[in-house]
A and B are shown apart, each in its own frame.
Chain A
Amino acid sequence: MSTAVLRTEVRLFRREPGAIFWILLFPTLLLVILGSIPGFREHQSDLGGLRTIDVYVPVAVLLGLIVGGLQSMPQTLTGYRERGILRRMATTPVRPSALLSAQMAVYGGAALASALLALVTGRLAFGVRLPEQPLGYLLALLLAVLVALALGSVVSALSRTTKIAGAIGSAVFFPSMFCAGVWLPVQSMPHLMARIVDCTPFGAAAQALNQAAAGHWPGWGHLGVLAAWILLLTGAAVRWFRWE
């Protein structure tokens, strides 16, 4: 990791208003809109006494890292390869991997900032309790960030052009959002569907975050699913990524 490259990539990220909106602001905006619906602030017996807004905070937390990891990062990385930016970097003492790791740091950091914003907004605007098992929550969140970055790297590895990266990214994006519970929180899903969603990266992440939010240590099953996906996807990205 080169700090100069990281500084540059942070600076360039700040010049992307689209990415800033969709990663940093959109999840919280969605939370605010949902929280403005009176019915979503009432306790629901089928959510175990929680309010809809309570279960949407973890969804918003995951949304930022899904957008960053699956939509923005693969586009940027594939563009860097397509435009020969990685090649140019390969002729310097700093290897092009410095650009890769800087990109991951930028999008990982943005996803964490987005998560923090959603948590704080949920707490201040709608009285959603902060995670009662903070360490477990942080662990689940970090694993979720890693799995999003790994999945994004695989998308970039498989895409020859930014157009393809956009298409594959979207194809993975919507199922990921579904699993994270954007349309239907995992707690409300029918049993069989929830079992299947539990095995997906973002389904497992949503469950782990919910458990930690409620004050339990996230289930090792969910953390294990996340860890397995991280290993598998990282291996695939390393195997298939091309520098040019």
Chain B
Amino acid sequence: MWPDPAFGDAGAMSVIEVTDLRKSYGGRAAVDGVSLAVEEGEIFGILGPNGAGKTTTVECVEGLRVPDAGRVRVTGLDPVADHARVARVLGAQLQQSELQPKLTVREALELYASFYPRPLDWAPLAERLGLTAQLTTRFARLSGGQKQRLFIALALIGNPRVVVLDELTTGLDPRARRDTWQLIEDVRASGVTVLLVTHFMEEAQRLCDRIAVIDKGRVAALDTPAGLIRRSAGATVISFTPSAPLDDGELAALPALASVDRKEGRITLAGTDETVNAVITLLARHRVTAHQLRVVDATLDDAFLDLTNTDTKADTADTADTADTKETAS
């Protein structure tokens, strides 16, 4: 889809350009030389373990933080020096923020719409986000999911060219999460560029055209979701229960094999398509039947764990399930 997965379309000006960004808090580098470019009309994901520097990076893009070093440009403008102009084209949904407790949903939408020169009509937007029944509800009385949807609406109300969504679907139930994904795809289809910070692999895999995996303040990999998966050692996983024992040595000799695992008579192999073909040949040669044969592509999860550091593995596996873990960088 993109000419060069790492740098996008080199001819056009990128909507967001981050070059060698650095930001430290109290001597600890939160962002340590991040470079990336987000092209017009794409959904660009930033993925990484907690505290990797994802939020700090997007806060520099939003103009909320002043970088220690490096260059940030949004539609060619400096988000700090040219704040007002950048704010008019950039809609933001922050990871942790609230509104005045007694402000109603409708008042919030009208207020934020008044900040922009060409805002969207708030009523259809509220309907798209399922907030029509809550228009007269005060912010403090909204559920977590309703608050989240309101903040997505506020990010879009200014009719922005680019939206930055930080932990977009955190706090949403699975159905609302899927609805929100559809909404983001619609938003992109209308020509808006999306920068998405997430720790949900499924979300990144489903939505993103390209993903930057950030770890310890640096870009560990930048590619399409499929490209990231291909990079991981075991891109294809074959599992089966053989009708007769198979020789370990023969399994280990399979081409492009990344790992072998035996558990309760079931064999799980990670490798490539080449490995799959070789396994089938091996089974046929020994006239062994493979019960419950499954061949699945590795997920972004596997690629992510490969790319980010080993000592964070347990941590990141957890965060894929627990919705409310927060990055502690700020």
Enumerate chain A interface residues (CB-CB to B < 8 A): 2, 4-5, 8, 11-12, 15-16, 80, 83-85, 87-88, 90-95
Contact B94 A4 (CB under 8 A): no
With A8-B111, A93-B116 known as contacts, the answer to whether A88 contacts B87 (CB < 8 A) is no
Contact B99 A88 (CB under 8 A): yes
Closest chain-B Cβ to A98's Cβ sits at a distance in Å of 9
B310 at the interface (CB under 8 A from A): no
Q: Which residues of B, 124-154, contact A by the 8 Å Cβ criterion? A: 151, 154
With A85-B100, A91-B62, A93-B84 known as contacts, the answer to whether A5 contacts B94 (CB < 8 A) is no
Complex CA–CA separation, A88 to B116 (angstroms):
14
Partner of B107 from the list A11, A84, A88 (CB cut-off 8 Å) is A11
With A8-B107, A8-B111 known as contacts, the answer to whether A88 contacts B97 (CB < 8 A) is yes
Q: Find chain B residues with CB under 8 A from A91 CB.
A: 62-64, 87, 90, 92, 94
Partner of A12 from the list B64, B88, B100 (CB cut-off 8 Å) is B100
Complex CA–CA separation, A84 to B100 (angstroms):
10
Contact A84 B115 (CB under 8 A): no
Contact A4 B99 (CB under 8 A): no
B114 at the interface (CB under 8 A from A): yes
* Given A84-B96, A87-B97, A91-B90: 17 more A-B contacts, CB < 8 Å: A4-B114, A12-B103, A83-B97, A83-B98, A87-B94, A88-B94, A88-B97, A88-B99, A91-B62, A91-B63, A91-B94, A92-B116, A92-B158, A93-B116, A93-B158, A94-B115, A95-B83
Contact B64 A93 (CB under 8 A): no
Complex CA–CA separation, A56 to B154 (angstroms):
49
Closest chain-A Cβ to B60's Cβ sits at a distance in Å of 12
Complex CA–CA separation, A88 to B59 (angstroms):
11
Beta-carbon nearest neighbor of B62 in chain A: A91
Q: Which residues of B, 274-310, contact A by the 8 Å Cβ criterion? A: none
- Total interface residues on B, CB under 8 Å, equals 27
| CB within 8 Å: A-B pair count | 61
Beta-carbon nearest neighbor of B89 in chain A: A93
21 A-B residue pairs with CB within 8 Å: A2-B114, A4-B110, A4-B114, A8-B103, A8-B107, A83-B97, A85-B98, A85-B100, A87-B64, A88-B97, A88-B98, A88-B99, A88-B154, A90-B64, A91-B62, A91-B92, A92-B158, A93-B84, A93-B87, A93-B88, A94-B115
Complex CA–CA separation, A55 to B91 (angstroms):
55
Enumerate chain B interface residues (CB-CB to A < 8 A): 62-64, 83-84, 87-88, 90, 92, 94, 96-100, 102-103, 107, 110-112, 114-116, 151, 154, 158
Closest chain-B Cβ to A127's Cβ sits at a distance in Å of 40
With A85-B100, A93-B84 known as contacts, the answer to whether A4 contacts B64 (CB < 8 A) is no
Contact A12 B102 (CB under 8 A): yes
Q: Find chain B residues with CB under 8 A from A84 CB.
A: 94, 96-98
Closest chain-B Cβ to A69's Cβ sits at a distance in Å of 20
Closest chain-A Cβ to B158's Cβ sits at a distance in Å of 7
Q: Find chain B residues with CB under 8 A from A90 CB.
A: 63-64
Complex CA–CA separation, A93 to B63 (angstroms):
11
Q: Find chain B residues with CB under 8 A from A16 CB.
A: 102
Q: Find chain B residues with CB under 8 A from A11 CB.
A: 107
Q: Find chain A residues with CB under 8 A from B64 CB.
A: 87, 90-91
Q: Find chain B residues with CB under 8 A from A85 CB.
A: 97-100
Beta-carbon nearest neighbor of A84 in chain B: B97
Complex CA–CA separation, A80 to B101 (angstroms):
10
Contact A80 B116 (CB under 8 A): no
